[in-house]
């Protein structure tokens, strides 16, 4: 019986294209990306790293509310999003705001989402996405439903969702992948395994050697990929998308990654559960350093170009936070009107009372 388990687990060896030294390990796996597309990927990762740094500072200043740091996970988040098309439907978790931004969400609205303002969830026309899910794993069930809707309408698109390693311990995770598998729905399920569900190590969550192997029970394809390698994540996502729209079913993708900051800015202290040695080990795998080294070896990137992106990001962030700050404040009447189509009598009475207070 042990041999059977080992034979299953052996199927899920980590897929990698770019190693820690920024060198291609297998030219045959290299995705078909132009030089300009490669540079655009780097630009997005640098921009997002600056956005993370500034968002943390804005949170500490009290100008943002809830915020989940993203540094370290750029390759996993942006490599996957770069492989999507505009018609694809995105169902993110709360750390996955960068994917929404690059899918079309204006930056000031991302800041309003952090502030808890309803306009942060009013996505532009033509942008197919749900708001970042706070309930762990719930987006997996929603993704199965959205993917089935896409299939029933005959659209050439996919539903894409993300959770962390901790999300795989939720019942919603299994229900979502099982339903999608049973109905052969065009869905891509990401597990961004950063090894700690807040403070709980992944080995204390599951006895499975990989999280990708959880796909076996649902009868869907699964793969484990180096989540610090943007090229590998892009290639795997591109393949998963092509399979899904061709009717070959959903895929579960485990990206091995790491968040350099706390779980969120709401009081988490990662020094209580992560060692300096572990942090140092993952710093050497930084997705920006790795990809930068690769591009520089091809004369596609320079310090001057990177500094230009950094300044561009800082300027965009400055304008966006000003716009978010001056946006009309959310009121209690906004909350009530947005929650109900038809108000029960008791809330109708309260609504009138709040309208009177707000008009003074």
Whole-angstrom distance, CA of residue 271 vs CA of residue 285: 19
Q: Enumerate the active-site residues.
A: 259, 263, 273
Residue 22, CA distances (Å) to 108, 271, 286 in order: 34, 29, 10
Buried b (16+ CB within 10 A) or exposed e, 250-277: bbbbbbbbbbbbbbebeebebeeebeee
Residue among 285, 74, 32 at smallest CA distance from 293: 285
Among 227, 197, 177, residue whose Cα is nearest residue 17: 227
Q: Phi and psi for 24 in degrees, rounded to 5? A: -70, 130
Q: How far apart are CA 344 and CA 353, in angstroms?
A: 15
Paired with 187 in beta bridges are 159
For residues 108, 113, 115 and 118, what is the CA-based torsion angle, rounded to 10 degrees? Answer: 100
What is the C-alpha to C-alpha distance for residues 217 and 229, in angstroms, rounded to an integer? 27
Task: Tell me phi and psi for residue 176, to 5 degrees.
Answer: -65, -50
The closest of 50, 79, 43 to 160, measured between CA atoms, is 79
């Amino acid at each position: 019986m042990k041999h059977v388990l080992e034979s299953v687990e052996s199927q899920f060896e980590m897929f990698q294209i770019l190693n820690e030294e920024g060198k291609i390990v297998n030219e045959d796996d290299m995705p078909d990306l132009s030089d300009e597309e490669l540079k655009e990927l780097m630009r997005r990762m640098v921009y997002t790293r600056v956005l993370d740094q500034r968002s943390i500072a804005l949170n500490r200043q009290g100008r943002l509310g809830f915020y989940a740091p993203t540094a370290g996970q750029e390759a996993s988040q942006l490599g996957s999003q770069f492989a999507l098309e505009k018609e694809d439907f995105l169902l993110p978790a709360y750390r996955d705001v960068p994917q929404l931004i690059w899918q079309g969400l204006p930056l000031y609205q991302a800041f309003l989402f952090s502030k808890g303002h309803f306009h942060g969830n009013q996505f532009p026309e033509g942008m197919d996405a749900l708001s970042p899910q706070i309930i762990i794993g719930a987006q997996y069930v929603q993704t199965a439903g959205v993917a089935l809707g896409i299939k029933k309408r005959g659209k050439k698109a996919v539903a894409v969702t993300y959770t962390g390693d901790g999300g795989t311990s939720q019942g919603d995770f299994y229900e979502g992948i099982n339903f999608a598998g049973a109905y052969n729905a065009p869905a891509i399920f990401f597990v961004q395994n950063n090894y700690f569900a807040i403070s709980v190590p992944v080995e204390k969550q599951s006895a499975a050697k990989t999280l990708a192997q959880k796909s076996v029970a649902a009868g869907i394809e699964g793969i484990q990929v180096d989540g610090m390698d943007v090229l590998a994540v892009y290639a795997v996502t591109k393949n998963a998308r092509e399979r899904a729209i061709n009717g070959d079913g959903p895929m579960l993708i485990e990206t091995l990654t790491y968040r350099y900051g706390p779980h969120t800015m709401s009081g988490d202290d990662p020094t209580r559960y992560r060692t300096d040695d572990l942090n140092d080990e993952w710093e050497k795998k930084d997705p920006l350093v790795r990809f930068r080294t690769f591009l520089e070896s091809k004369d596609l990137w320079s310090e001057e170009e990177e500094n230009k992106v950094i300044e561009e990001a800082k300027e965009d962030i400055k304008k966006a936070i000003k716009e978010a700050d001056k946006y009309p404040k959310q009121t209690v009447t906004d909350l009530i009107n947005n929650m109900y189509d038809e108000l029960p009598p008791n809330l109708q009475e309260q609504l009138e009372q709040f309208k009177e207070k707000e008009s003074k």
